[in-house]
Amino acid sequence: MSAPSESVGRRVPRLESREKVEGRAQYIADLYRPGMLHGAILQSPFPHARIRGYDLAEALAMPGVHAVVTGDDFAEPNRMGAFIKDEHALAKDKVRYVGEPVAAVAADTEAIARAAAQAIRVDYQELPALLSPEEALASPVHIHEGVEQYFKVFDAGSQGNLCSRTEFTEGDIERGFLESDLVFENHFETQAQAHVALEPCGALAEVDPQGRLTIWSANQSVFRVQACVAEALGIPMTRIRCLTPRIGGAFGNKMEPHVQPIAAALALKAKRPVKMILSREEDFEMVRARHPFRIRIRTGVKRDGTFVAREVEVLLDCGAFADDSPGVLGFGLLCARGPYRFPHVRCHGRLVYTNKLRFGAYRGFGNPQVSLAGESQIDDIAEKLGMDPIELRLKNILRGDDRPLGGQILTSNGLRECVERVRDASGWGKGAPSPAAPGKKRALGFALCGHISGLLASGAIVRILEDGTVVLNVGANDIGQGSDTVLSQICADALKIPLENVAFVSPDTDGSPYNWGTTASRVTFMTGRAVVGAAAEAEKQLKQQASEMLECAVEDLELVAGGAVAVKGVPEKKIGFFEIAKRSHWFAGGPIIGSHSWVYDNPTVDPKRAAAIGLPFPRIGAYSFSAIVVDVEVDEVTGAAQVKRAWSACDVGRAINPLLVEGQIEGGVVQGIGFALIEEMVWDGARLANPTLMDYKIPTTREAPYELYPIIVESRDAQGPFGAKGVGEVGLVPVPAAIGNAVKRATGVRLFKLPFSAERILRGMLGTQQ
């Protein structure tokens, strides 16, 4: 079935490449509108304080200032939140972390706006700051009064400073540990990681004469922006149109709102377009970050290495607002068992409000943290049992029709192939791959994971234009990963037309079908399948037209390469899309518009197999898998670890575009290396101590291994478009654990706390580890 026009499986460069290399791609900061003003925010200097009042006189008196908004401009019930409605667009009545936006100004220039924001006086009454989950759980002071009354989309069990709690159980955990020959228990801690998308967040809002808002912003979902602005301003969604420019990377921090509702409020007040672009420092201090986890993990095994029982307990720092945190807690726990056979499992945890910036979605969504714990401990178990860590895993991984935690059906599973491919490619078990340089220690480390790519809703519309070419309209933002290209390839192949004949519509809440967002590795799988469905609908209409034109039965027709419908087995008896479109537009049947939408409806938990309390997402699944081997060198003088080589195999079902799949794997692995070895947001008391790229470092060309080998495994998932599953996150998830395992094998030091900084490794080697 590989017709010449086939796009799926081809290494197609991203469609918008040219505008990007010519510097003509427009990101939010590059947009200008007639009469546009510039916005700036005032941030809270206190972690927790009541707002007694504002003095805006000085700011309003400054020449060039057109509007000022504060929490008073946002009415009480108008709170946002994907899971718990607990957040106003600006601090209202209270500030809850250092750096929280308290007020905002629209002025002729950014400089004036920033100066005016500084000139706003806020009367604060300080409250005790709660800076850790433990502290917050113990305190009578509540960061949100009446969290119990907030609207929630699931049974969160919120109470006091407890934002939510979730628990999964399968089998009988106590019996499991009794039946185990050996039980291992460890505690792990992970740090806050900043997304550091190279593009800082920003938004541009404009109001038309009817008072309707148009909002462009750095975002991962125009529909989430629309919904959140509507909630924040208390206006109907129909009053808001959201569009997207090119997005300069996101990784989760642009999924939920940042300054869109603030810019919108300023635009409404100033009756002028307002653009607000955060500085890098503001982006660090007020957008969102990866959750610090505290993890207790207990695993019971048989002497022969059979896994019997696993209990995982986590405590998450939520920050000041729930944002996506309940989802991260729930998903982290769902992944905490790992893609292994464990008859007895209990995964439970709590999410606690603190006076820090909100934590939220970040590539991996809780999985990298729990995988660090699980995959590190499995290596130690293997060592104790005298088994090879990969052999131990192969003995216990999910295979055949085994079920992941929760008991849902796996529709494809390439995990074993991932493990075997990286094992063989890296020369695992064949002695030291390459000798350590003098003064260095060197070893390989391994880890694996499973990660979902199916959740929530997506739609697609395929229109055949008058000349027979095709417009594809989905609501999915391309945040740089390449979904515009991949979805166009899917559409082209579904209709057997050349890729050039597909035009891709930029997401627009006025015209695009709904899409939850570009998140959770879901776009290729979810939206791709919607595209296949919409193309099938268009195909039906095309065939109906053709059957009338060729006077034969629809059943006797098939699509043939190049954009035509032909009689089966008689390719020369065909009729092109152009002819069909002419007829449909001008004579009979009407323009051909195929549409399809769906919501992922495979229950997360099968009640016959597992139980769940506080489940934030009842329907989530479609598992991708990955395995990685890293070759790590540790410097004996400084303790610094460097990844010299890496082999990452990912089961993506089917690679619609291998070039872009490799990009996701390579980028994910290097972001994981940053998380494992370098990156850490550090607080000095209540304030972030390193909110700049001078002090917060990410990998450069010198820290990323050039010898990074992406290996694509294709298990062909029957549910996915052309068999495809997601690849956005699986590459990153196992990296910290693999590096920790390599450090252990190289130095004998097991580290339980991320990041594995040179200081921690050296202390470990010198036995002075605290």
Partner 1 sequence: MRIEGNFDIAASRDAVYRHITDPGLMARCVPGCESIEQVSPTGYRAKVTISVGGIKARFNLVVEVTREQPPGLVLSQTRGEEGSRASVLSADNELTLVELDPLTTRVSYASEVSVTGRLGKFALGVMKKKVGAMGMEFADRLREHIQTQAVPPSQAPGSAA
Partner 2 sequence: MSDTLHVTIKVNDRSVALDVPLTETLLTSLRDRLQLTGAKRGCNQGVCGACTVMLDGVAVRACLSLTANCEGQSVLTIEGAGADRAIAALQDAFIEAGALQCGFCTPGQLIAARALLEQNPDPSVEDVQKGMSGNLCRCTGYNKIIDAVRTAAGKLQA
Partner 3 sequence: MDTGLFRPESVAEALALLARLPDAKLISGGASLVAMINARLADPAALVSLAGIGELKQIAAAPGGGFRIGAMARHRDLAAESRFSGTLAVLQMAAAQIANSTVRNMGTIGGAVAHADPGLDYPPALVAADASIEIAAAGGRRQVPAGEFFVDWFTTALQPGEMVSAVHLPAARPGIGLYHKFARVSGDYATVSVALTLVREGRAISTRAAIGGCGPTPLMVAEANRLLSGDPTAENLRRAGELLQAAADPVDDVRGSAEYRRMLIPRMLARAFDEARLRAGAAR
**Which stretches of the chain bind partner 3, using CB under 8 A?**
439, 637-638, 640, 678, 680, 682, 689-690, 692, 695-703, 757-759, 762-763, 766
Contact string (CB under 8 A) for partner 2, positions 217-256, x = contact = -----------------------------xxxx-x-----
Only segment of 193-201, 222-230, 400-408, 759-767 that touches partner 2 (CB under 8 A): 193-201
Q: How far apart are CA 376 and CA 3, in angstroms?
A: 46
String marking each residue 718-757 x if it binds partner 2 according to CB under 8 A = ----------------------------------------
CB-nearer residue toward partner 3: 637 or 718: 637
**Contacting range for partner 2; rule: CB under 8 A; set: 16-24, 232-240, 429-437, 758-766:** 16-24
Residue 326 and residue 333 in contact, taking contact as beta carbons nearer than 8 Å: no
Q: Are 410 and 624 in contact (CB under 8 A)?
A: no
By beta-carbon proximity to partner 1, the closer residue of 77 and 685 is 685
Burial 554-590 (b: 16+ CB within 10 A, else e): eebbbbbbbbbbbbeeeeeebbbbbbbbebbbeeeee
Binder of partner 2 out of 6, 9, 10, 30 (CB under 8 A): 30
- CA-to-CA distance for 478 and 80, rounded, in angstroms? 24
Q: Which of 663, 734, 736, 764 binds partner 2 (CB under 8 A)?
A: 663
What angle (nearest 5°) sits at the alpha carbon of residue 250, between those of residues 246 and 253? 130
Q: Which does 759 bind (CB under 5 to 8 A by kind): partner 1, partner 3, partner 2, none?
A: partner 3
Structure tokens at 93: 């009545």
Whole-number minimum distance, CB 274 to partner 2, in Å? 15
Q: Coil, strand, or helix at residue 330?
A: helix
Binds partner 2 (CB under 8 A): choice among 659, 683, 750, 769? 659
Residues that bind partner 1 (CB under 8 A): 43, 45-46, 98-99, 118-119, 281, 684-687, 689-692, 695
Candidate ranges 43-51, 262-270, 337-345, 654-662; the one touching partner 2 (CB under 8 A): 654-662
Helix (H, G, I), strand (E, B) or coil at 449: strand
* Complex with partner 3: residue 582 or 763, whichever CB lies closer: 763
Q: Which amino acid is at 566?
A: A
- Neighbour tally for 261: CB within 10 Å: 28
Rounded least distance, CB 44 to partner 1, Å? 9
Shortest CA distance to 65 belongs to which of 107, 119, 110, 115? 107
Choices 353-361, 663-671, 679-687, 741-749; region in contact with partner 2 by CB under 8 A: 663-671
- CB 421 to partner 3: min, Å: 30
Q: Which does 119 bind (CB under 5 to 8 A by kind): partner 2, partner 3, partner 1, none?
A: partner 1
- 526 three-state secondary structure: helix
> Measured from the CB of residue 555, what is the shortest distance to partner 2 in angstroms?
42
* Closer Cβ to partner 2, 79 or 246, answer by number: 246
Distance set, CA 321 to CA 80, 88, 222, 386 (Å): 10, 10, 21, 46
- Nearest C-alpha neighbor of 513 from the set 463, 455, 438: 463
Which residue in 455, 504, 722, 413 sits closest to 603, CA to CA?
455
Instruction: Look at residues 629, 636, 643, 651 and name the one whose alpha carbon lies nearest to residue 674.
Output: 643
Residue 418: both structure tokens together: 């991932």
Which secondary-structure segment (H or E) carries 331? helix 325-335
Q: For tokens 């792990």, what's the residue? A: 188
Number of residues binding to partner 2, judged by CB under 8 A: 58
**Residue closer to partner 2, measured from CB, 426 or 597:** 426
Choice from 482, 507, 614, 723 touching partner 2 (CB under 8 A): 482
Residue 706 touches which of partner 3, partner 2, partner 1, none (Cβ within 5-8 Å per kind)? partner 2
- By a kind-dependent CB cut-off of 5 to 8 A, residue 686 interacts, out of partner 3, partner 2, partner 1, none, with partner 1
C-alpha R_g of the chain: 27
Is 704 a binder of partner 2 (CB under 8 A)?
yes
3-state secondary structure 250-298: CCCCCCCCCCHHHHHHHHHHHCCCEEEECCHHHHHHHCCEECCEEEEEE
Residue 499 has which token pair?
């890729």
- The angle subtended at Cα 153 by Cα 149 and Cα 157, nearest 5°, is 55
- Of residues 6, 9, 10, 25, which one binds partner 2 by CB under 8 A? 25
Q: Is 666 one of the binding residues for partner 2 (CB under 8 A)?
A: yes
Q: Does 280 bind partner 2 (CB under 8 A)?
A: yes
401 binds, among partner 1, partner 3, partner 2, none (CB under 5 to 8 A by kind): none
Q: Which does 678 bind (CB under 5 to 8 A by kind): partner 3, partner 2, partner 1, none?
A: partner 3
Work out what residue 691 binds among partner 1, partner 3, partner 2, none; the CB cut-off runs from 5 to 8 Å by kind. partner 1
Which DSSP string corresponds to 198-259? SSPPEEEEEE-TT--EEEEES-S-HHHHHHHHHHHHT--GGGEEEE--B----TTTTTS-SS
Of the pair 480, 513, the CB lying nearest partner 2 is at 480
The yes or no reply on residue 18 touching partner 2 (CB under 8 A) is: yes
Report the residue number, 284 or 446, with the smaller CB distance to partner 2: 284
3-state secondary structure of 651: strand
**DSSP bridge pairs for 767:** none
Q: Which is nearer to partner 3, 439 or 748 (CB)?
A: 439
Q: Which does 728 bind (CB under 5 to 8 A by kind): partner 3, partner 1, partner 2, none?
A: none
Q: Please, which residue, 179 or 281, has the CB nearer to partner 3?
A: 281
Tell me whether residue 29 or residue 761 sits nearer to partner 2 (CB atom): 29
Q: Give dist(CA 58, CA 597) in Å, integer.
A: 52
CA distance 268 to 22: 35
Least Å from the CB of residue 689 to partner 1: 5
Which chain residues interact with partner 2 by CB under 8 A? 11, 13-14, 16-18, 20-27, 29-30, 32, 111, 195-200, 246-249, 251, 277, 279-280, 479-482, 659-660, 662-663, 666-671, 692-694, 698-702, 704-706, 708
